[in-house]
A and B are shown apart, each in its own frame.
Chain A
Amino acid sequence: MKYGYYPGCTLHQQAEEFDVTTRESARALGIELEELDSWQCCGAVFPLATDAVINLAAPFRALAAAYEAGVELVTVCAGCLNVLRRTNNLVQNDDETRDKLVDFVEEDYAGEGRVHHLLELLRDEVGFESVSERTKRDLNGLRIAPYYGCLLLRPPDEMEFDDAEDPQILENMLAGIGAHPVSYPLRMDCCGAYLPIGELEERRNRAAVAVMRSASAAGAEAIVTSCPLCAHNLEQCAQDVPGAEMLPVLYFSQVLAYALGLDADSCGLEPDGLHAGVCEKIGIGEVK
């Protein structure tokens, strides 16, 4: 099936490996992703003020464009998913907001479209068993800590992504591609979000440090996430967490694409740098 792909800004800038491995994974699994024409930023944060309708114009435009093109949207960025899905809910359920957006953007759209996360397609359309059958490399039981953060899961009644208190989707995906998902308590805690990025004097991000330590203490060898902001905050921990406890931070699609046969370099894996330990364990280069 063909989907409209909404990469989001970060995947075209700092997180190119997230973009590449998402496209390659989808291709390997028979999911056709076609990037939406002239999409723009989703706004990054879903506005909590009920009268901040202008902030909804950009995601509304993306949703309307996908509907016009006759495709359902796919994204992998947790932030984009959160904004797009919640905007769509609002357009469906709040007549006043919808009317304002329709008038302002001049697109007749009432929330008929759908927004998917790639992981949801793997679970609901492809099936993790089928993903498992198509793997070309063995991850050799690499101990991976799945990190959900907030945006994929909350608010639960709007996101309907997975059980908000005990999600399993990342665990099931990782187990399906031959990794060993590590259970640790802080997998759904906040990474600190935008606080450490501002002009605060105190840059030390205690939230991300706690997550990193929790995953490390549980015996993980790497962390995977679906959120560029989480990835950034976790990577910034290096200054506060001793080397031994500091784990490499990867996007879920990087390990997925690697298991599906994409070469390490295209997957953004650095055998001589940050990912040396990981690469040693999974034995870079060997294809079944």
Chain B
Amino acid sequence: MRKIGVFVCHCGLNIAGTVDVKRVAERCAEIPGVVHSEDYSYMCSDPGQNLIAEAIEEKDLEGIVVAACSPTMHEPTFRAAAEAAGLNPYQVQMANIREQCSWVHPDDEEEATRKAEGIVGAAVEKVRRDEPLVPHEIPITKKAMVVGGGITGMQAALDIADAGYPVILVEREATIGGRMAQLSETFPTLDCASCILTPKMAEVGRHPLIELMAYSEVEEVSGSVGNFRVRVRQKPTYVDWDACMGCMQCQQQCPSEVESEFERGLGTKKAIGVDFPQAIPNRPKIDPEHCAHLRGDFCWLCSRSCPVDAIDYEQEERIVEEEVGAIVLSTGYDMLPQEVLGEYGYGKYPDVIDSMAFERMKSSSGPTGGEIRRPSDGEIPKEVVFIQCAGSRDPDKGQSYCSKICCMYTAKHATLYHHSVPDGQAYIFYTDVRAGGKGYEEFVQRTVEEDNALYLRGRVSRVYPEGDKILVKGVDTLSDENVEIHADLVVLATAVTPRTDAREMARIFNVGTDEHGFLNEAHIKLRPVETTTPGVYVAGAVRGPRDISDAAAEASGAASKVAMLLSREEMETDPLIAEVDEGDCSGCLWCVAACPFDAIEEKYLTRRVGDREVSRRVVEVNVGVCQGCGACTVACRDGAMNLKGYKDEQILAEVESICLIAGSQQ
């Protein structure tokens, strides 16, 4: 029989004030196999830990129970102390007689002491059956992948690369830059977005450790933390980017002009070219839907104009396989589709635009060269109505959540409008002004006091044209008056939404989503950039609405997590994971369906019987992915699946012990 030691902690009066700790220690000494049992005021203190170490060494203990606080508090402390004294750290068991006993039964010493005896007795039965366990070591591929090349992805890629690790940055569009590349100025300092973004884009483009895969999308991910295998689809650009010099002769020559999504419908683009002049990589792509040649017409203008013969109408997509140790997801956000807001005439009346269109208008490289003009007739608007919460905080028609950035960018828009059109008037319908951030509240106050914006607390019911104006009908709930404004331009602060294909991406990377489709973090407060899949991190608006400051901070947070992972040669994984007994496994695969981490795979055992090969299906646990949640052990019909350290026989022994002690106490 194994020699077990029991150490009962007083925790000052936290435990000893209620539980008769001396009696618990004495009773435990009577349990067969317990060769050492004592109590002490603070087991976690140095003298307390020394008591444990001495007992392990002197009595050759093969398992110890520390009856004290919750394992989340001091299990690591006592495991380390035991390991230093020569005992395997997984043969240390905490018996929680503080949170689960003394603290919840402060008025009944007898009852609390009896309960403590039961808890400690059960722990003795468990630790008696604990095997010495050793963490697994798995090698790490010292390379990361960042998916999404907006400001978040760029920041993460740069931070990881600056830490010395190679990064592959995968971007769906032909250029990096993301949403921020569309913005004019940024709150709360009114920096021009391009001025702070394009140097970063260039840095990404020339960093020796960053490999940029633009116009590419991730198809499939396999493997696990430290060793992911990723299939990336490089879409055809119909331009040989290695040969191309970026002179953009092709863009000038192209005769097909189409509406530009980048300009939010306010401007046009060519069927070949870049979305904006500072694009990185500065290489054009052909839009096959609008290219005359690819649609079968007689047109070779881009091909003829190219000085290096880089146009390749026959180019096909390529699949590339990459191996990386860690992945950061930073694919950003979309905006509410136009049709959701029928009552605002969005998409129907040209002078009702969304905030991103306003950004393009204010951008010096935008369709109006930085001037605010009505899309319908090009006039300078003298009355502009901004409608906040257009689809946000509206569970009936839009999204239930607050889109977070709209209060600030609308204040910014009103400020910029006042700077451009000093004799104009901005009206802002709002629900609440949420300006939590460094310098944010002050910015909003300046918008009101110095830039003359009129804030109206209330919602807008209808927007429709009347003559050459747009009539905005709303309510000001502070004065309790209906408000009608004959506006020249209406700007909707449309809700930030998940990417339309966010759920599909979540499936590819095995990450959870919330009810809206934003990716879930491992813990919303304390593990904000990790996910429940080890080695996959999230940052920025892919988690929910974010402004640039938050996105950049999260990007650096995710990058440091990646650097932590990649800085090790090998990775230790917790040995408290599932283990299958292949002899008992019937290959039903119920555990595969139960596993939330995709950590279980089927495999076939073959053996020779006479002159035939017989093959049998069983399962295999991927030690790098298993999180030890135990779902598979419950699903297993054969009892073949067990969680190390928490085997069925250990749990049953604990239950039996509790029943016996409870019975003997009556």
Contact = CB atoms under 8 A, between A and B. Distances in A.
B574 to A, nearest CB: 49
B342 A165 contact: yes
Contacts of A106: none
Contacts of A186: 464
Contacts of B464: 185-186
Contact of B465 (A165, A166, A185, A189): A185
A163 B343 CA distance: 11
B269 to A, nearest CB: 29
A166 B342 contact: yes
Contacts of A189: 462
B342 A163 contact: yes
Interface string A145-169: 0000000000000000001111000
Nearest to B397: A165
A255 to B, nearest CB: 25
B97 to A, nearest CB: 49
B377 interface: no
A44 B471 CA distance: 33
Contacts of A165: 342-343
A189 B464 CA distance: 12
Interface string A123-164: 000000000000000000000000000000000000000011
Contacts of A185: 462, 464-466, 471
Contacts of A166: 342, 348
Nearest to B341: A165
B587 to A, nearest CB: 46
B610 to A, nearest CB: 66
Contacts of A163: 342
Interface string B453-495: 0000000001011100001000000000000000000000000
A230 B464 CA distance: 21
A164 B465 CA distance: 19
Interface string B348-374: 100000000000000000000000000
Contacts of B343: 165
Contacts of B471: 185
Contacts, number: 13
A118 B468 CA distance: 38
Interface centre among A163, A166, A185, A189, by most chain B C-beta atoms within 10 angstroms, is A185
Interface in B432-468: 462, 464-466
A186 B462 CA distance: 9
Contacts of B466: 185
A58 to B, nearest CB: 30
Interface string B572-605: 0000000000000000000000000000000000
Give chain B's interface secondary structure class.
strand
Interface string A171-183: 0000000000000
Nearest to B343: A165
Contacts of B465: 185
A166 B471 CA distance: 18
A189 B462 CA distance: 10
A275 B343 CA distance: 33
A189 B463 CA distance: 12
A206 to B, nearest CB: 11
A185 B352 CA distance: 14
Nearest to B396: A157
A169 to B, nearest CB: 15
Nearest to B349: A185
B263 to A, nearest CB: 26
A118 B327 CA distance: 58
A164 B343 CA distance: 9
Interface string A61-101: 00000000000000000000000000000000000000000
B483 to A, nearest CB: 16
B463 to A, nearest CB: 9
A165 B158 CA distance: 47
Interface in B604-660: none
Interface string B309-347: 000000000000000000000000000000000110000
Contacts of A164: 342
Nearest to A185: B464
A166 B348 CA distance: 11
Contacts of B342: 163-166
Interface in B74-106: none
Contacts of B462: 185, 189
Nearest to A187: B464
Interface string B498-524: 000000000000000000000000000
B639 to A, nearest CB: 44
Nearest to A184: B464
A165 B342 CA distance: 5
Nearest to A186: B464
B391 to A, nearest CB: 13
A180 B594 CA distance: 61
A88 B343 CA distance: 28
A129 B352 CA distance: 34
A165 B397 CA distance: 11
B624 to A, nearest CB: 48
Contacts of B348: 166
Nearest to A157: B396
Nearest to A163: B342
Interface string A36-63: 0000000000000000000000000000
A164 B466 CA distance: 21
Interface centre among B342, B465, B466, B471, by most chain A C-beta atoms within 10 angstroms, is B342
A185 B345 CA distance: 10
Nearest to A165: B342
A194 B348 CA distance: 32
B467 to A, nearest CB: 9
Interface in A183-207: 185-186, 189
Interface in A19-50: none
B461 to A, nearest CB: 10
Interface centre among A164, A166, A186, by most chain B C-beta atoms within 10 angstroms, is A166
B54 to A, nearest CB: 70
A166 B341 CA distance: 10
B484 to A, nearest CB: 11
A265 B465 CA distance: 38
A211 to B, nearest CB: 12
A253 to B, nearest CB: 27
Nearest to B467: A217
A186 B343 CA distance: 11
B636 to A, nearest CB: 41
B254 to A, nearest CB: 36
A186 B461 CA distance: 12
A271 B471 CA distance: 37
A186 B463 CA distance: 10
A162 B412 CA distance: 39
A278 B466 CA distance: 26
Interface centre among A163, A164, A165, by most chain B C-beta atoms within 10 angstroms, is A165
Nearest to B471: A185
A21 to B, nearest CB: 31
Nearest to B348: A166
B237 to A, nearest CB: 38
Interface in A219-267: none
Given A165-B342, A166-B348, A186-B464, 10 more contacts: A163-B342, A164-B342, A165-B343, A166-B342, A185-B462, A185-B464, A185-B465, A185-B466, A185-B471, A189-B462
Interface of B: 342-343, 348, 462, 464-466, 471
13 contacts: A163-B342, A164-B342, A165-B342, A165-B343, A166-B342, A166-B348, A185-B462, A185-B464, A185-B465, A185-B466, A185-B471, A186-B464, A189-B462
Which 5 residue pairs spanning A and B have beta carbons closest together?
A: A165-B342, A185-B464, A166-B342, A165-B343, A185-B465
